[in-house]
């Protein structure tokens, strides 16, 4: 059985997860807290097999908490459950020692899948997060969740609108005050998310959806 503690500052989400797994014979929620500091104490007390943690929390964020947990208990797995889909956030959680990264809008069934994959010693990622750089941080088998829903971030939608208006990556970067490499990364991620084959197909998609963002 996979024993789990959850760190999340929204109690409603915790209650929903507990309710879903209440009668699951393979997964057992053995504790929950609402901030990073309490998470450290709970992990020391309960010694779970897996920690599910948000990134933004009071007192101590999930990244800092993960670093401490992995330094003290290398065998305990960590799954990030968050709304942040920015590459920097993903990179920081990976560097801290997380074995998975899942967005909150992915649904409870994908959370169940992520838990089981990570418990088996593998790595799990939400299909809607940027993962083109992940091979630099992962040396285990990686599972990418499957979803029929395509979720573009607000920044991606913004860049897609600029693409639809015929702007280059350099022009978009100047307009949005971000690096050109950041724009290029978003382009690659959108091509992957939308199951396209090239930058030209992305441009065509952007033009087709110009007034639907």
Fold designation for 2-144: Rossmann fold (3.40.50)
Please give the pLDDT value at position 134. Answer: 54
Q: Which of 9-18, 78-87, 111-120, 135-144 has the lowest mean pLDDT?
A: 135-144
- The chain-wide mean pLDDT, for the chain, equals 87
**Residue 193 confidence (pLDDT) above 90:** no
Ramachandran sector of residue 121 (left: φ over 0; alpha: ψ -120 to 50; beta: rest) = left
**Residue 185 confidence (pLDDT) above 70:** yes
Class of domain 154-208: mainly alpha
Please give the pLDDT value at position 85. Answer: 82
Is the full-model pTM beyond 0.75? Answer: no
Instruction: State the pLDDT confidence band at 137, using cuts at 50, 70 and 90.
Output: low
Q: Where exactly are the structural domains of the chain?
A: 2-144, 154-208
**Residue 88 confidence (pLDDT) above 90:** no
What percent of the chain stands above pLDDT 90? 53
Instruction: State the pLDDT confidence band at 161, using cuts at 50, 70 and 90.
Output: very high
Identify whether the C-beta of residue 99 lies closer than 8 Å to the C-beta of residue 79: yes
Please give the pLDDT value at position 181. Answer: 92
Strand order through the sheet with 123-125: 27-33, 2-7, 50-53, 77-82, 100-103, 123-125, 142-144
**Residue 80 confidence (pLDDT) above 90:** yes
HSE-CB at 135 with a 13 A cutoff on CA atoms is: 1
């Amino acid at each position: 059985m996979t024993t789990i503690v959850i760190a999340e500052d929204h109690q409603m989400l915790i209650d929903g997860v507990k309710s879903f797994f209440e009668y699951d014979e393979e997964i057992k929620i053995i504790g929950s807290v609402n901030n990073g500091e309490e998470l450290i104490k709970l992990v020391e007390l309960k010694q779970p097999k897996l920690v599910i943690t948000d990134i933004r929390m009071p007192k101590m964020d999930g990244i800092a908490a993960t670093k401490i947990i992995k330094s003290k208990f290398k065998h305990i797995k960590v799954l990030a459950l968050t709304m942040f889909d920015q590459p920097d956030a993903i990179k920081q959680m990976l560097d801290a020692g997380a074995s998975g990264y899942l967005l909150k809008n992915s649904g409870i069934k994908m959370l169940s899948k992520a838990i089981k994959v990570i418990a088996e010693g593998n790595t799990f990622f939400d299909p809607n997060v940027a993962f083109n750089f992940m091979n630099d941080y992962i040396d285990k088998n990686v599972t990418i969740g499957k979803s029929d829903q395509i979720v573009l971030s607000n920044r991606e939608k913004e860049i897609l609108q600029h693409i639809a208006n015929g702007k280059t990556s350099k022009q978009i970067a100047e307009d949005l005050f971000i690096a050109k490499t950041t724009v290029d990364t978003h382009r690659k991620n959108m091509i992957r998310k939308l199951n396209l084959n090239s930058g030209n197909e992305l441009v065509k998609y952007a033009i087709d959806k110009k007034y639907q963002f």
